[in-house]
Structure 1
């Protein structure tokens, strides 16, 4: 091992600062940032069409590594039928916290896949995995030909997308009689299965690789690993996630609940239990900083739109009114969507009443109690539960507003179509922004009264942390990491951060939203007569919350402060990354053979 900080390679498909689709992209970037003084990081990822953007941002070198060959697209399940030549280049960028190597297509065929700006586009994903795999094989082989090159002390994989490229790397290592410790983070099980023939088409041959089993280190061929992972069920192709967990020296996920409920049972039980652990995700949002950011960028316009005095301090109610009645309809550019297919689908559905053909959104005519949700469009996220709750909620709170900032994927076209029926039916209460609307993100969090995290399953839920960091009380489901990040006010009134409800329960969700909206309104009417407050209190459907409001003055405001304090104490990236540092060192010290 070198005398300097240990070298860690990161394999991932997304990385904040390069390209980010969902929560996954934030994790490696923030872990690297938090631990860059302890480890020397190099991130490997497909270019995803980002090379020109990064050239404007960081210094870079194009590495002199020749990587060419032939590939049969039909064996990958791609539409290109004839054997193709691939050409791959390596662009090394120097970021503030480590090197980032983008694996890039250098001819038209390779660019089509590696350069697709949608990391998980189903039409190009398999080609991207295959070419990433060939690229990693070329890179590691080049290091062995360059006697002065330094190998990593550890490789950290993020999700199944990079498992096949890592197998390719391990085969080169085995040929050179080297084992490098490895760790895989499973952020979310997605149950991918790939036939052995697909791995062969990605360049995986019969070279053995070394893996860590309960009995110790063992060398196996890929067919033997497949057999090990299928067990007695020889008909079923093994999960690629299970293969990844099996071949790595440690498997981790993002919460203890998800580790025990899903990762260990579905990815091998005793095969991985001895080497399984968890590391929480984090959030570094600082409330005062995001407020200042919004005021610096929009403060003058807010005062003009709302006709406020120049010396007035802009309140949360002011921000909400500006957001709902003006800013929604006055974005400087349409929300960012990297898929033409998605953009065209939304244009076909838009009728101009709420969302126009150019994807602009009409603002509300009035402000009101605001609930927000953010994230990918996926059945996992339970957006349909929110939409199904709107009829009941708006009966009790007619001026309620729901703002959903959603990231569509090519897999979500049917859901987008379904959402439009609610957009048309609830014009006074619902707006959905499809794509990344950077101007709205902080603003909506500062304005919201409730954040909805209604997932059917949720390994962790970074968006819930972001909401708490913005002092938004949560309604969240009792699944996965959400049970660890937040505290139900009914169970712990002193430290509670919101309400935990059963998943897929529209009644629980509706009652929770109504209760928190009414609770917030009671805080705003603290100076009203006891008769008015008593009437409003009786409108809270949850009796435990009614009792809490009688016990605590300004209880809604207390929940808001509890949210921020919990993030500050337990979930800053520097804090949660301390455990990852321990695990890194633990795995490296298992071998310590370099």
Structure 2
């Protein structure tokens, strides 16, 4: 596995969860020998990570040499590897051994324009040297029998290692997964032997599952792929995957063309959260959740505690995952803590990166419409910070308009983050595009119906109540349609309110059901006051049956088998041409 990030070590988004989850299930459930390679991002210097992963320096390995810039200047590099293991998976962190190399590989920022491209190049150089090192040391058994490169950041490393091994008659299939298209283009010099290390030799890739053509790597990069890193990855890989069928066929294939037809398929992401374990841990940590009269905490008990007490525990000394916390967030106190809400109320939860893609701005635009119908509604947004200061400022300004209804928390306070999922009524996913969306699974496994846009993987994870009836797990709305987003949130919030009132023995259902804007949902709710509980169980069952990491692992094994078959056929054709 090659990746720019991995949950537990260095993570900025869903890619890190995907790499960690898939690696773990392949190692523990499928009994494969799995190794994950990534830049260190300086994490090897963290004592807690060193201990939990058992990191140690591979003292006998050194990658050294120079890269030649466009200006002809030499840039020396000296890199090493830290190796550790966890959950049956081996982890290899490429680190700098001199100041110049450490400046890039050990920079704690995972994604930054200049840093990212330097990390990509140095990771490729380090892994290419490591493959040659294993061969020279007579340790060929440690070489991979398949390379799985995740997203465009690892394309140079994947192609380089495959190339180096193939030059020594070691056939290793390359699988390339597009998690999120970026459209990155770079001149050939970047990928070439001068910089990343890819040699400009002839290669005969499969272009549409049937045909092959012999071209030099520079020709593939420049003439066929038009300098697109992702197209180059798709063209040179033996097999291409993405994280949902919809995203693969509607987005990836439209971007890269027919070159992946016949050599592509999807591998879903997964979620292995156990709600019972999460609830038990939260009840232990937050004793105040338990009601006074009995020890069984209901969802509304957890919600009230979260909104009026727990979020105030997120302060300047709290552990925040994802990034250093941002000051001047909405309703932030002088000591850096978040001001709790003054009262309980129906809760809409959103999590994810702060980026235009995720649509936090659309949800904030819907707040006034939702609160116009259900005034006590609360919106809690956990957002991983962005380097875009303008976007951050705009988001904070929008949130500040609703001091009694909205809180934005930058980063993820682990226990509060999980408690929020157990306490929420509805999960909002207003993405403008979404290859898969692991957050939808995290929401559903904790019993939260999803109001999401009908894009990408959301259409495959969420079962729309409007088409699936009482078997649904949420409502799908058109992208960038704030009106439909607000109406659907009101519909599901009301359904959850009806269920809550019924469980509490309160009869106000008829009046509440009239607030439901969606006629089909209103009809279902009028016939079943406990529709909310039914939907919550649908959500849990959907993840348990179809979206655990064991399911993803089985899909991956199928794709790997196809990659091996196609790689073998490519080599056979090359040999016939040579003879």
The verdict on a shared fold, with TM-score over 0.5 as the criterion, is yes
Distance across 2 between alignment mates of 1:100 and 1:219: 35
Q: Is the deviation greater in 42-51 or in 92-101?
A: 92-101
Contact 1:283 1:573 in 2 (8 A): yes
Q: CA deviation at 1:217?
A: 5.2
Structure 2 stretches of 5 or more lacking a match? Answer: 573-579
Q: CA deviation at 1:363?
A: 0.7
Please give the secondary structure, in 1, of the residue aligned with 2:148. Answer: strand
Q: CA deviation at 1:356?
A: 4.0
Match of 1:476 in 2: 452
Match of 1:408 in 2: 385
Change (3 A) 1:338 1:400: closer
Contact 2:323 2:411 in 1 (8 A): no
Distance across 2 between alignment mates of 1:94 and 1:128: 22
1:225-275 C-alpha deviation (Å, 9 max, x unpaired) = 124534xxxxxx432111101100000111111111011121122x11110
Pairing 1:326–2:309 present = yes
Match of 1:187 in 2: 179
Q: CA deviation at 1:456?
A: 0.8
Match of 1:290 in 2: 278
Match of 1:502 in 2: 478
Pairing 1:132–2:123 present = yes
Distance across 2 between alignment mates of 1:365 and 1:110: 51
Contact 2:470 2:524 in 1 (8 A): no
Distance across 2 between alignment mates of 1:339 and 1:481: 27
Q: CA deviation at 1:589?
A: 4.1
Distance across 1 between alignment mates of 2:101 and 2:108: 13
Distance across 1 between alignment mates of 2:202 and 2:40: 29
Q: CA deviation at 1:482?
A: 0.7
Contact 2:158 2:174 in 1 (8 A): no
Match of 1:212 in 2: 206
Match of 1:278 in 2: 266
Structure 1 stretches of 5 or more lacking a match? Answer: 1-9, 76-80, 231-236
Match of 2:57 in 1: 62
Match of 1:157 in 2: 149
Contact 1:460 1:481 in 2 (8 A): yes
Match of 2:575 in 1: none
Distance across 2 between alignment mates of 1:337 and 1:550: 43
Contact 1:229 1:268 in 2 (8 A): no
Please give the secondary structure, in 2, of the residue aligned with 1:29. Answer: helix
Please give the secondary structure, in 2, of the residue aligned with 1:57. Answer: helix
Pairing 1:517–2:463 present = no
Match of 2:218 in 1: 223
Q: CA deviation at 1:83?
A: 4.6
Contact 1:88 1:110 in 2 (8 A): yes
Q: CA deviation at 1:91?
A: 1.4
Match of 1:147 in 2: 138
Contact 2:323 2:385 in 1 (8 A): no
Distance across 2 between alignment mates of 1:419 and 1:127: 31
Contact 1:283 1:571 in 2 (8 A): yes
RMSD between superposed Cα atoms in Å: 2.2
| Counterpart among 153, 161, 168 of residue 176 in structure 1 | 168
| Counterpart among 47, 67, 78 of residue 71 in structure 1 | 67
Contact 1:73 1:127 in 2 (8 A): no
Please give the secondary structure, in 2, of the residue aligned with 1:213. Answer: coil
Contact 2:448 2:539 in 1 (8 A): yes
Q: CA deviation at 1:219?
A: 4.7
1:349-379 C-alpha deviation (Å, 9 max, x unpaired) = 45xx712466421111111000000011111
